[in-house]
A and B are shown apart, each in its own frame.
Chain A
Amino acid sequence: MNVVNNKWIGQRTIRPDGVDKVTGRAAFAADTAMPGMIWGKVLRSPHPHARIRSIDTSKAEALPGVKAVVTSRDVVDFPLDKSVMLGIQDMRWMCRNVMARDKALFPGHPVAAVAATTEAIAAKACELIEVDYEVLPFSIEIEDAIEPDAPILHEFNTFQGKPSNIVGTLEHKKGDIEDGFKQADVIIERSFTTRPVHQGYIEPHACLISVAADGKTTIWSSSQGQFMVRAMTAYLTGIPQSDIRAIPAEIGGGFGGKTIVYLEPLATLLAKKSGRPVKMVMTREEVMRATGPTSGSKSTVKIGAKKDGTIVAAQGTFYLQAGALPGSPIRGAAGCSFAPYDIANVLSVGYDVCSNRSKVAAYRAPGAPIGAYAVECVLDELAEALKMDPLEFRLKNAAKQGTKAAHGPVFPRIGYIETLEAAKNSAHYSAPLRRLQGRGVASGFWFNAGGESSAQVNITEDGNVVVTTGHPDIGGSRAGIANICAELLGIDYRRVSVIIGDTQTVGFSNLTGGSRVLFASAMVVTQATEKVINTLRERAAKIWEIDPEAVKWENGAAHPASPNAGQFEPLTLEDLADKAPMQGGPIGAGVQLNTQGAEGGFGTHICDVEVDIELGIARVIRYTAVQDVGRAVHPGYVEGQLQGGVAQGIGWALNEEYIYRSDGKVDNPGFLDYRMPVCSDLPMIDTILVEVPNPKHPQGVKGVGEVPLVPVMAAVANAIYRAVGKRFYALPMSPPKVLAGLEPPVQQAAE
C-alpha cells in the first residue's frame, strides 16, 4: 500500500461535481442544445412479432418541416452468419436492436426514425410512414418460448438439431454431482420464477448529435461509456471512430441499462442526412417498452448437505429471458450463485431464451441476483431442516482463500467470512421481533471487473491539479479519485479537479460497468500521480543541485530526504509549477492500463419484514447490508452503493414486474404502474463496511456497486417466511400474491 497518512482516503469529502448537481447547473444529455437543432423521433412496431414486407416513407418525407427519414436500409448490416463482438455485445444483435431489419421482434422495436423542425412534426411524420407488416405468432414467457411448436424468432438458430428459441447455454461443473448427492443426508430441491425488472434510471435516454459536411461527428449523450457510444455508432453508421467525438454528458442513472446504444446511431444518421444537429429524447413509455430490462427467469436449485451441515452437492438450472435478441446474463446466474460456498460437487447450467420482448440489458450484477435468489432461499430451507442458524450454516460452508469456485478461479484472500461474522455480531441480528415480523438473511457474490482505463494528471500553472479519466461518473467516483490524488500529492482535495474526458481527449477507457470504475481509475490515477511526483522530485533536485533520490515528496512539497542531502527550504507544488517553464516545461503524466486483479465481492444481508396479513403487504422495517468493500475510499458513496442496491432489490422482491396484456404488449410502461420503491416504502438502510483490502490494488479497492443487489430478494423472501410461515417461490411477492398465498390458519391466528 502506497498510502501512509490517509488524510483524504476514507474521508467524506465534497464531490467535485457536487455544486453543479445541487444547483441545477450539471448538464445531462437532454439539457444540451445547438443552433439549428432539430428533433428526432422513432417509429416503433406495434406488433410483438411481424415480418416487415415494405416501408413507404414518401408521405413522411413530403411533410413540411421533415428534414430526414431513416430506416434499416441506412444502418450498417451485420450478417447473421458472422459474429462481430464489441466487448460482450455482438453487433449482429445490436444492429437489429437499434432498427428492425426483416422482422419486428417486440412491441416498441424501432422500424424507422424521423427528424423534423419540431417534436410535434416528427411525431406526425412517424404516423405517415406506411409499414406493411405480416403479423406472426409470438411468445412472451419462457415456458411458451421453449415449447416444441413455439414461434421461432431466429430461424437460423438451432438447439439439439432443431430451430429453437434457446440461443445459448453455459455450464459450470466441479466434482461429480451424482456422487455428491449420494453423500447427502438432506436434499432440498425447489423451482423459482422471477419477472423481468427495469433498471429504472430516472433519466430517459437522450442524445444530441451534429455531423459536419466532412463527416466529423460530435455526440453528447447520456451513457455508461463514451467509448462504447463511439465504437457502436461507428460500427452502425460506417463513420470511422477517429471522426466521432463522443462527449459524456452527466448521466442520470444507468445501473447497466446504458451500456448499449439505442438512439445514437439513429440520431447520427438523421444528422448526416439532414445536415442539422439532431436531438432525441425518449419518453418514459419508450424507455419501459424498448430498453432494458433484466431477464425474467425460471430456475431449479437442488442442494444436498450432511447432518453436520456440510454442503456436499449443489445443482442449479437457470433459464433466463434474453428478449428479442440473444444475450441474457446466464454467466452471472450460473457463475455467481454458488460462489460464496466451498462445495465439492457443483453443476450449474444456464439457458439463454429468446422471446418477443425488448432485448435485455445489463442490470447491476447481471444474472447474479436471479441465481442467488434461488440458491439462498434453498439454503434457508436447508438450514431450517438441519436446525442450524442460517448464518452459522453459511459460515460452515463459506468460501475462503484457496477455495476453487465452480466458475473457475481459486479465491485469493477474500472477506466473505468476515461479512457473515459481522452480520452475526450485529445488534440487528439479535434484536427482538414482534408477531408477524420475520428476519431473513442471504449472501451474494459478484465477479467485479477491471479492464482498460486511462488517466491524465496535469499540474496547472498555479500549482493545482486536473485529473482526467475516461469512465462516466455514475455515483460519485470523481470524489474517490480526488481523495486518492490528493492523498498521494499531500495536498487539500479541493485543489484536485476531476473531469471525465471525451473520446478524443482521454485514452480508451472501458465503460462504467462491472463495478470497475474506482478500482480501475484508482490504478491509473495512482500511477500517473506517482509519475508526476517523480517529475516534481527531479525538478527540486535540479534546483538544489542534488540527486533526485535525495529528494522526498511530503505534504505537498519536495524536501531533502535526509540531513545528509543538504539544507534546503521545501519547494511546494506551487513553487515548482511556477518554476516549471524554466525547469523543463509542463508537469503532467498519462497512464493507460489494462487493469488486472479486480477480485470478486461478497455481501451478507439481514432483512426484517412485517406482513399485513389482511392486505398482503410485506413491508421491510429494518435492513442491514454487510459487504467486504476492500477499502472505502469515500465511505459516503460506498454506503450509498449498498443502500441503493438494497432499495432496488426490495422493489424487485416486492413490487416490480412487467405486466403483459394478451396482445403481447407491456401494460404498465410508466412509473405509476411499474411500482419502484418510493421514499415512504423504505426504512433507513444500515450498512456495515468490512474492509479486507484487495492486495492487488494500490489502495486495496474492490468493486462495490453490484454486490448489494445480489442477496436482497432472498433476504426478503426468507424474512417473509419467518414472519408468516409461508415460502414464496415467485417474484414479486406483491400484495395480491402474498394474500393469495397465506394459509387460512395464519390469517385465523391473527384474528
Chain B
Amino acid sequence: MAKLHVTTTVNGEPLEFLCEPYETMLDALRNQLALTGSKEGCASGDCGACSITLDDRLVCSCLMLAAEAEGHEIRTIEGMARGGRLHPLQEKFLEQAALQCGICTSGMLVASEALLRKNPNPSEEEVRFWLAGNLCRCTGYDKIVRAVLETAEEIREAAQ
C-alpha cells in the first residue's frame, strides 16, 4: 500500500511527512520526525507518556493515526520551551524534584500545561483527576501535583 502524504504543523513549524495508513501519530513523531520526547509506555492509551496536543486538545498520540494530523496543529514536549526558555512548569518540575526516571515527564508536562490553559486555578483534586491518565511509577505523584499547583499559583500571581 502506498504511503500517505501528510501536511501539518508541529510545534509551530509547518511540515510534511509520509506515513503508512496504519501508522500512529506517536510512531510518526518518533520514527519519521525524530521527535522522541513523546514516549511509548503501553500503545493503548493507558499511560499517557505519549501525550501531545492536537489543536490544543490533549490526546494520546498512540491512539491517533498519523494521517489525522493533516491540516491540524500538533504540539509536543519539544515545543514547550520557547526560544531556549523553559516553561514555568518545566522549571517547577526541576525545582520540586517532580521527576525521577523521567519517562513519564514529557507526558506529565504536556498534560499539565493543557490543564492550566483550561483551568488556571485548579484544586488538588482537579489536578489529580486531570493527571489520572498519566502514569508515574517513581514519584507517588506527590511532587508532581505540588509542582502543578505551585506553577498555577505563580502564573496567576504574575498575571495580576
Contact = CB atoms under 8 A, between A and B. Distances in A.
A526 B141 CA distance: 33
A476 B105 CA distance: 14
A283 B34 CA distance: 20
A644 interface: yes
A685 B138 CA distance: 13
Q: Taking chain A's interface residues, is the majority helix, strand, or loop, or is none over half, making it mixed?
A: loop
Contact of A252 (B80, B96, B103): B103
A679 interface: yes
Given A202-B41, A647-B140, A678-B132, A21 B99 contact: yes
B142 A685 contact: yes
A644 B139 contact: yes
Contact of A201 (B109, B131, B137, B140): B137
B101 A475 contact: yes
B86 A24 contact: no
Interface range for A: 35 or more
A5 interface: no
Interface stretch (B2-10, B66-74, B87-95, B152-160): B87-95
Given A204-B41, A671-B135, A250 B86 contact: no
B100 interface: yes
A300 to B, nearest CB: 31
Interface in B41-55: 41-44, 46-47, 49
Contacts of A24: 35-38, 76-78, 106
A23 B37 contact: yes
A631 interface: no
Interface range for B: 35 or more
Interface stretch (A26-34, A80-88, A237-245): A26-34
A12 interface: yes
A18 interface: yes
Contacts of B127: 679
B104 A202 contact: yes
A431 interface: no
Contacts of A647: 137, 139-141
Nearest to A254: B101
B97 A203 contact: no
Interface string A233-264: 00000000000000000111111000000000
Contact of B138 (A250, A253, A634): A253
Contact of B47 (A202, A639, A679): A202
A476 B97 contact: yes
Contacts of A167: none
Nearest to B27: A119
A25, A201, A202, A645 — most chain B CB neighbours (10 Å): A202
Contacts of B40: 30, 204, 281
Nearest to B97: A636
Contact of A639 (B97, B109, B124): B97
Nearest to A479: B97
Contacts of A21: 99, 102, 105
A27, A31, A479 — most chain B CB neighbours (10 Å): A31
A22 B100 contact: no
Contacts of A27: 36
Interface in A10-49: 12, 14-15, 17-28, 30-31, 33
Contacts of A250: 101-102
A20 B144 CA distance: 17
A648 interface: yes
B109 to A, nearest CB: 6
B143 A679 contact: no
Contacts of B47: 202, 284, 671
Contact of B137 (A23, A253, A646): A253
Given A14-B94, A202-B49, A672-B44, A28 B39 contact: yes
A637 B141 contact: no
B98 to A, nearest CB: 8
Interface in B100-121: 100-106, 109
A678 B144 CA distance: 12
A644 B137 contact: yes
Contacts of B35: 24
A640 interface: yes
Given A19-B94, A27-B36, A28-B39, A637 B100 contact: yes
9 contacts: A22-B90, A202-B39, A202-B136, A634-B97, A636-B96, A639-B97, A678-B133, A679-B131, A680-B125
Interface of B: 30, 34-44, 46-47, 49, 76-78, 80-81, 86, 90, 93-97, 99-106, 109, 124-125, 127-129, 131-146
Interface of A: 12, 14-15, 17-28, 30-31, 33, 199-204, 250-255, 281, 283-284, 474-476, 479, 634, 636-637, 639-640, 643-648, 670-672, 676-682, 684-685
Given A24-B106, A28-B103, A644-B140, 14 more contacts: A15-B94, A18-B94, A19-B94, A21-B105, A22-B99, A23-B77, A24-B35, A24-B77, A27-B36, A201-B137, A202-B39, A645-B140, A671-B47, A680-B131
